[in-house]
Amino acid sequence: MAVTGVPPATVDAQPPRPDESAAVRVPWHRTPENRAILLGIGMFAPAVLFIATLIGVPFVMAFVYAFTDVKVGSITSHYVGLENFRSILQSPSFRKALVNSFIFTITSQVLVIIGATILSTALKDRFRGRGFVRFLILLPWVAPISLGAIGWKWILDSLYSVINWVLVALHFYKPYSAPMWLGEPQLAMASVILVHTWRLLPFSTVIMLAGLTAIPKDIPEAAQVDGAGFWRTLFQITIPMMLPIIMVAVLFGIIFTFTDMTVVYVLTAGGPYDSTQVLPSLAFFTGILAGDLSQGAAISLFLVPIMVAVTYVMLRLAYKSEGA
């Protein structure tokens, strides 16, 4: 009996005994198909483990907490049904935070998409120093968010604001009447939105740049030959072709913004009087700092249906525009 891969001379010299034929059988994990499966599992495992431990477990805990009366120092807890949700709906701070979360997210995303479209269009063509400009634009995304937010806190500080110093030095304002960027409700919300936009802009710009470079050059060139100007090409060719990738950028942006509390926490701590409070920061203040874990969990769970709905809609839109 010949064995694949074994020289015939050897086979002739020492015919294999019945039990040796099993020894040369390829182990199951060495077969090409199983090796591919194992490689796949191995490559997926870290991500699955990461998501399960750092996102899955806390999510399940939050879900459980939201239906109990657990407090930060509790030894036991009891099922209370929807009581936590009923309670937070009565809280003016929660209602304000809910509205603010939408304002914060929608406004910053509109600004991010407009800014990213402009930047990616400007950065797509070659010019001297393009690499350096790209590096500068990426910096806010690369730097830790807390560091950037603390920097902005000092730039907007009531006493040491460099912006106010310039405004006073240029005699636009008297020394004690310069704008309090974080002290007026509207200005504070605008400041928080702009700092968050500054933070997210590089991420969306990179995504959009990737989308732009993927558009075959002959299509806009053909449009130009047909007489289409810059704006017409942008709105009727470039943006429609980039719609799936814009949707991905928006989806990530919404998730990052809706669930972010760093900018608000560092800049305003939700003030003045809750006018910049958002759901994640309120959940942190209530659940961790004030010790009412179950209510903090209920506040944070309010984000989940919103996120699921947004994700569904965005992915559907991306899918449709891709199909079109």
Partner 1 sequence: MAKKRSGSFTRRDFLKTTGAAAVVAGAGPYFLFPERAQAQQKTLKIAQWSHFVPEYDKWFDNEYTKAWGQKHNTNVIVDHINLTEINARAAAEVSAKKGHDLFMFLSPPAAFEQQTLDMTHVYQEIEKKHGKKIDLAHKSTYNPKTKKYFAFSDSYVPDPGNYYKEWWAEAGFPNGPDTYDDLRTGAKKIKDKRGNPCGIGLSQELDTSMALRALLWSFGGAEQDEHGNVTINSKATIEALKYMKALFQESETSEVFTWDPSSNNRAMLAGKTSYVANAISVTRQAEREHSPISSHIMVCKAPKGPVRRIAAEHVMDCYVVWNFAENKEGAQQFLIDYIDNFKQGFDAGKWYNFPCFPSTVPDIKKTVQNDPAADPPDKYKVLADVLDWATNVGYPGYATAAIDEAFRTWVIPTMFAKVARGDETPENAAKAAEQEYKRIFERWK
- Neighbouring CB atoms inside 10 A of 247's CB total 20
Nearby residues of 291 by Cβ (< 8 Å), 6 or more positions away: 71, 72, 73
Q: Which two tokens stand for residue 321?
A: 């525009």
73 binds partner 1 (CB under 8 A): yes
**Which of 24, 52, 166, 289 touches partner 1 (CB under 8 A)?**
289
In this structure, the dihedral spanned by the alpha carbons of residues 120, 109, 304 and 278, taken in order and rounded to 10 degrees, is 140
**Which of 108, 152, 292, 299 touches partner 1 (CB under 8 A)?**
292
104 binds partner 1 (CB under 8 A): no
91 binds partner 1 (CB under 8 A): yes
- What are the two backbone dihedrals, phi and then psi, of residue 115, each rounded to the nearest 5 degrees? -65, -40
Site for partner 1 in 144-163 (CB under 8 A): 157-160
Q: Are the C-beta atoms of 207 and 119 separated by less than 8 Å? A: no
Site for partner 1 in 187-206 (CB under 8 A): 188
Could you give the residue ranges of the DSSP H alpha helices within 14-155? 20-23, 32-51, 57-66, 83-89, 92-124, 130-142, 145-155
- Span of 45-53, 65-73, 210-218, 236-244 interacting with partner 1 by CB under 8 A: 65-73
Minimum CB distance to partner 1, residue 188 (Å): 8
First to last CA, the chain: 60
Q: Are the C-beta atoms of 156 and 182 separated by less than 8 Å? A: yes
Q: Are the C-beta atoms of 156 and 210 separated by less than 8 Å? A: no
- Span of 180-188, 202-210, 249-257, 303-311 interacting with partner 1 by CB under 8 A: 180-188
**Which of 93, 224, 233, 259 touches partner 1 (CB under 8 A)?**
93
SS3 68: strand
**Which of 24, 26, 36, 72 touches partner 1 (CB under 8 A)?**
72
User: What stretches of the chain adopt beta strand conformation (E)?
Assistant: none
Site for partner 1 in 220-279 (CB under 8 A): 268-274
87 binds partner 1 (CB under 8 A): yes
**Which of 75, 142, 225, 324 touches partner 1 (CB under 8 A)?**
75
Q: Which is nearer to partner 1, 105 or 268 (CB)?
A: 268
Minimum CB distance to partner 1, residue 29 (Å): 25
Q: Which is nearer to partner 1, 79 or 132 (CB)?
A: 79
Helices 130-142 and 92-124 sit at what angle, rounded to 10 degrees?
Answer: 160
d(CA 245, CA 257): 18
Q: Which residues bind partner 1 (CB under 8 A)?
A: 69, 71-75, 87, 90-93, 157-160, 174-177, 180-185, 188, 268-274, 285-286, 288-292, 295
